[in-house]
Amino acid sequence: MLDHILSILIFFPALAAIFGFMIQKDAIRAYGVSVAAIEFGLSLWLWFAFDGNVSGMQFMENLPLVPSFGINYILGVDGISLFIIVLAAFFTMIGIASLTDTPNEKNMIITLLFLQMTMVGVFAALDAIVFYVFWELSLVPMLYIIGAWGGPLRIYASVKFFLYTFAGSLVMLVGMLFMAYFYYQATGVWSFAILDWYRLILPENLQLWLFAAFFVGFAIKVPMFPFHTWLPYAHGQAPTIGSVILAAILLKMGTYAFIRFSLPLFPDASAFFMVPIAIIAIIMIIYTAMVAYAQKDVKQVVAYSSISHMGVIILGTFALNVEGISGSIFLMIAHGVVSGALFLLVGVIYDRRHTKMMDQFGGIAHVMPRYATIFGIMLMASVGMPLTINFVGEFLSLLGFYQQSHILTLLAGTAIIVGAIYMLAAYKKLFFGEVTKEENKNLKDVNKRELLALIPLSIITIWLGIYPKPVLEPINNSVEAVVQLMHNKATSDLAKERIPNLVEEVVVITKTSVQEVH
């Protein structure tokens, strides 16, 4: 069973979703929670069985789909993807468990289970086509969630979300096809397997083009400035659960793909584009933080703050050293936990007041002290307080990038300032002051169902902030392998200089160089 655990992880929720159609309406929540709990248990088992000291892929599965074109159903996890899979399972579980009364609850839960399939699929796929299929499929449930349960502008938001990301990923598909064609040119056989592609050394000018093609797809998903405008709409209109999953998992697909595809496949291009991307990341950090400060809607604050944090993740990724990349992967998990929790928290007051406008609140720390406390913990995590989960990721990302550029890191470091500004301002508007509105005087504090979701998140936030080792160590091992691979593959002097060499003597891996073949 352990040999096929990834397939089980992917298709179990989908199968369960299909059976879900047959379940009575009253029982659907219990059904959904139990399915998600089993899935989460399986993912924990995966973690347990995962050997943290091995840097390569584990639990590989290989099944030919279209052998003549080298399209295979290849799955595998390493330290980079493992924790995002666990996180996806975890968030689906608490998402379903804490689902507040929604119309058509059954459809929602079935959709969420389908969504889970696509999410796990994306992070487990090691074949470009399989990856692409799951990548695109993930749009559909999300489109449905926003479009069916969203706010007044839901159609616009969902269509925008769909078309925008879809347009980007089509460019990415072209890149993938070209990459496969190139592999065919070089070796004479077709292959879409990412691990096969890793062995390919591309000429630098070609790397730049392919990097750009992949970049468009990933950047829109992340979303990077200036491709970010779909996100506030999507978050603003999506129901709470939609926002939680979107922020916690779906956005991570973009940054994950950068590490899985862009860095190891195009080391020279990554080094070449490092500074421009870092500048975009800095714009993301500062600009969106300022935009977040100007928001009137608390959910939009969190949405823009997501973009700001994604900027730090991108920066860490393009630090191109172990510290930075490990930090950015850790920050992906951290941001997933924290922003997911923040969206859940926003959902709590939205359920009570049906508004997210901050001027409608004020002083609710008086009436909802427990809520204010949990929000405060997440707020502090979000601004990167040490001993919370976010700090580890942010610290490592910035530390990593500092090796590459001092002045850019100094600018990016303003994240900790501007982040504090908008977050504290929002917290002040929501919680501090006197209770002025009559409706707010009798707000109920968080109930048990909400605590069910929020308490575990708070515990994770602090636990991984104090003791990140169980997560950081496997990440570190896999990242070291990636960085070494990049260093070995790099051809340009710039890339050799920017990507550190981790071993003393250069390991000669069998390379299939394009120039040799031609």
Partner 1 sequence: MEKFLYIALFAPLVSSLFAALFTTTKKKTFVGIIASLLIFTAFASSSVLLAHILNNGAPIHVEMMTWMATGDLYIPFGFVVDQVSVTMMMVVTLVSTIVHIYSIGYMDHDKSFNRFFAWLSAFVFSMMILVMSDNYAGLFIGWEGVGLCSWGLIGFWFHKESATWAANEAFIMNRIADLGMLIGIFLVYWNTGTLQYDGAFEAFKTLDTATLTWIGIFLFIGAMGKSAQFPLHTWLADAMEGPTPVSALIHAATMVTAGVYLVIRSNELYDLIPHVGLFIASLGAFVALFAASMALVNRDMKRIIAYSTLSQLGYMFAAAGLGAYWVALFHLMAHAFFKALLFLGAGNVMHAMHDELDPFKMGGLKKVMKGTFIMMTLASVALAGIFPLAGFFSKDAILEAAFVEHHYIIYSVLLFTAGLTAFYSFRLVALIFHGEERYKLFGIHPHEAYKFMLVAMSPLLILAIIAGAMKGTYYEMVISVLPETEYHIHSHLVYWVMTIGTQLFVIGAVVYAYKKYADWKSVPDGSSDVEQSFMYKLLYNQYYIPYAYEEYIVKPYREISEIFWTKVDMKVVDATVDGIAGIIYGTGEKTRDMQSGNLSTMLKWMVAGTVALLSLAVVFGLAARNSDEIVAILSALGVM
Whole-angstrom distance, CA of residue 211 vs CA of residue 201: 13
- Residue 469: CB minimum distance to partner 1, A: 6
Tokens of 88: 């996806």
CB 293 within 8 A of CB 280: no
Query: Closer CB to partner 1, residue 6 or residue 284?
Result: 284
- Residue 214: CB minimum distance to partner 1, A: 20
Whole-angstrom distance, CA of residue 246 vs CA of residue 243: 5
CA-nearest of 230, 285, 226, 222 to 255 is 222
Angle at alpha carbon of residue 99, lines to 98 and 103, rounded to 5°:
165
CB 379 within 8 A of CB 427: yes
407 Cβ contact list (under 8 Å, min separation 6): none
Q: For residue 201, how many C-alpha atoms fall within 13 Å in the half-sphere facing its CB?
A: 18
DSSP string, 472-510: HHHHHHHHHHHHHHHHHH--SHHHHHHSPP-SSSPP---
Whole-angstrom distance, CA of residue 55 vs CA of residue 479: 8
Query: Closer CB to partner 1, residue 56 or residue 386?
Result: 386
Query: Closer CB to partner 1, residue 108 or residue 418?
Result: 418
- Residue 413: CB minimum distance to partner 1, A: 5
β-bridge mates for residue 251, sequence order: none
CB 65 within 8 A of CB 73: yes
Quick check: helix, strand or coil at residue 356?
A: coil
Whole-angstrom distance, CA of residue 381 vs CA of residue 463: 12
- Residue 32: CB minimum distance to partner 1, A: 32
Distance of CA 153 to the CA centre of its chain: 25
Query: Closer CB to partner 1, residue 56 or residue 470?
Result: 470
> Which letter does DSSP use for residue 387 in this model?
T
- Residue 215: CB minimum distance to partner 1, A: 17
Query: Closer CB to partner 1, residue 40 or residue 227?
Result: 227
Q: Give residue 159's identity as a one-letter amino acid code.
A: V
- Residue 419: CB minimum distance to partner 1, A: 8
264 Cβ contact list (under 8 Å, min separation 6): 198, 482, 485, 486, 489
- Compute the chain's Rg from CA coordinates: 22
β-bridge mates for residue 71, sequence order: 66
- Residue 366: CB minimum distance to partner 1, A: 7
Query: Closer CB to partner 1, residue 14 or residue 325?
Result: 325
- Residue 102: CB minimum distance to partner 1, A: 29
Query: Closer CB to partner 1, residue 243 or residue 295?
Result: 295
- Residue 125: CB minimum distance to partner 1, A: 26
Query: Closer CB to partner 1, residue 203 or residue 413?
Result: 413
Query: Closer CB to partner 1, residue 70 or residue 232?
Result: 232
Q: For residue 128, how many C-alpha atoms fall within 13 Å in the half-sphere facing its CB?
A: 28
- Residue 181: CB minimum distance to partner 1, A: 20
Beta strands 58-66 and 200-201 are unpaired
- Residue 516: CB minimum distance to partner 1, A: 27
Whole-angstrom distance, CA of residue 429 vs CA of residue 226: 29
Tokens of 481: 């392998």
Query: Closer CB to partner 1, residue 110 or residue 372?
Result: 372
Query: Closer CB to partner 1, residue 65 or residue 424?
Result: 424
User: Under the rule (CB under 8 A), what is the footprint of partner 1?
Assistant: 160, 163-164, 225-230, 287, 290-291, 293-295, 321-323, 326-327, 363, 365-366, 369-370, 373, 380, 383, 385-387, 391-392, 395-396, 398-399, 402-403, 406, 409-410, 413-414, 416-417, 420-421, 424-425, 428, 431-434, 466-469, 472-473, 475-476, 479-480
Query: Closer CB to partner 1, residue 206 or residue 399?
Result: 399
- Residue 351: CB minimum distance to partner 1, A: 21
Whole-angstrom distance, CA of residue 471 vs CA of residue 211: 29
CB 379 within 8 A of CB 344: no
